[in-house]
Amino acid sequence: MARKTKYFFNPKSLSFERVRDNRSYMLWRAIGFSSLILVLSLLFSALFSRIFANPRERSLMDDNASLRREIKMLDRGVNELEQNLAVLKERDVKIYRAMYEAEPPKPIDYRGADYAELKKLPEGDLIQRIRQKIDRLGKESYAQAVSYETLKRLIRSKESFVNAIPAIQPVSNEDLNQMASGFGYRLDPFYRTFTFHPGMDFTADVGTEVYATGDGIVQKSQDDGWGYGNHVIINHGFGYTTLYGHLSKIAVSSGASIKRGQLVGYVGNTGRSTGPHLHYEVRRGGNPLNPAFFYHHDLTDEQYRRMIEMSSRQTKRFD
């Protein structure tokens, strides 16, 4: 059958003219229509396979989704383990260096295995990272266990030294809710400027008991009137001293021998103070040290991590 000839009226020439085929326009129109049909077919196929999948296929898809969620949860769990181990390693190093005058353990030489095959799996990159972390954590945990055994032997060989170290909190503070200001630059409540705070402040009611944190001799027991107010300084030997400031009452006298955990006085608000609290310092060779690193006798690892975190906050000091 012959193809019909089409005409259109041209108002410029005031005559009917023949319609010519625009093959390029027709070609692109056909390609666009075909692409639309292809995309719709793929979407419909995916939707159809999901909605009308048989029970086994649906079960496999659900299992895959659950496995992806479990893998991501496992990654988060491994990250938490990494953080906890980092705290333990830091604590270990602080104990070796600051307390027992020994070299800390050398870092492990970790060289990861070849995990190229894992990348071929679904979520391969994530699985590879988790496997590397787990392998590294295993080696670091073993190295940490060896380090603690070394530390135990060191402690047994230096019993008097260990007893002298200020190793507990000076007030009863198991729930850690009495620490008000940590070590470092803090806002001075009197001058409203950031100045160095050489100790830690513990809030407590007036009359709360204050304890010696290590064995030693009472070096100073007096009232400054301003400054630390009623305060006690204990010389623990080996270069260590501790200071307990702003006491309401002192329970020891200069020159007295004292044991860790023995009562030295009571929390007060004397001297340069804005409220009832204990100002506590640890010094070695006259240089202030962060007291938070010395509470290893009465804090669990989790409590120790919280104490380090709390002591690093930029809070206002009380003195």
Concatenated DSSP letters of 111-174: -----GGGGGSTTHHHHHHHHHHHHHHHHHHHHHHHHHHHHHHHHHHTHHHHHHS--S-SS--T
pLDDT band at 246 (very low <50, low <70, confident <90, very high): very high
Structure tokens at 241: 């001293």
pLDDT of residue 170: 93
Of residues 138, 135, 202, 133, the one with CA closest to residue 170: 202
pLDDT band at 99 (very low <50, low <70, confident <90, very high): low
Q: Are 289 and 302 in contact (CB under 8 A)?
A: no
pLDDT band at 34 (very low <50, low <70, confident <90, very high): confident
pLDDT band at 315 (very low <50, low <70, confident <90, very high): low
pLDDT band at 112 (very low <50, low <70, confident <90, very high): low
Structure tokens at 208: 């709360």
Which of 81-95, 100-114, 190-204, 205-219 has the lowest average pLDDT? 100-114
Bridge partners (DSSP) listed for residue 230: 223, 247
Contacts within 8 Å (CB) and 24+ apart, 282-288: 282/166, 282/199, 282/213, 282/240, 282/241, 282/242, 283/198, 283/240, 283/241, 283/242, 283/243, 284/98, 284/239, 284/240, 284/241, 285/239, 288/183, 288/198, 288/199
pLDDT of residue 43: 72
Stretch 200-228: mean pLDDT: 91
Kindly state the greatest CA–CA separation across the chain: 126
Q: Helix or strand or coil: residue 237? A: strand
pLDDT of residue 176: 64
Which has the higher per-residue pLDDT, 224 or 4?
224
* Straight-line distance from the first to the last Cα atom of the chain, in angstroms, rounded to the nearest whole number: 106
Q: Are 229 and 268 in contact (CB under 8 A)?
A: yes
Structure tokens at 60: 């496999």
pLDDT of residue 129: 78
Of residues 146, 153, 152, 116, the one with CA closest to residue 131: 116
Stretch 23-33: mean pLDDT: 64
pLDDT of residue 221: 93
Q: What contacts 15, CB < 8 A, 6 or more positions away?
A: 9
pLDDT of residue 301: 72
**Helices 55-94 & 301-311, crossing angle to 10 degrees?**
70
Architecture of domain 179-311: Distorted Sandwich (2.70)
Instruction: Please report, for the chain, the start and end positions of each structural domain, with discontinuous segments joined by +.
Output: 7-51, 68-157, 179-311
Stretch 20-47: mean pLDDT: 67
Query: For the chain, what is the mean pLDDT?
Result: 78
Contacts within 8 Å (CB) and 24+ apart, 171-176: 171/202, 171/204, 171/208, 171/209, 171/210, 171/211, 171/267, 171/278, 172/208, 172/209, 173/202, 174/298, 176/303, 176/306, 176/307, 176/310
Q: Are 129 and 72 in contact (CB under 8 A)?
A: no
Of residues 215, 207, 223, the one with CA closest to residue 172: 207
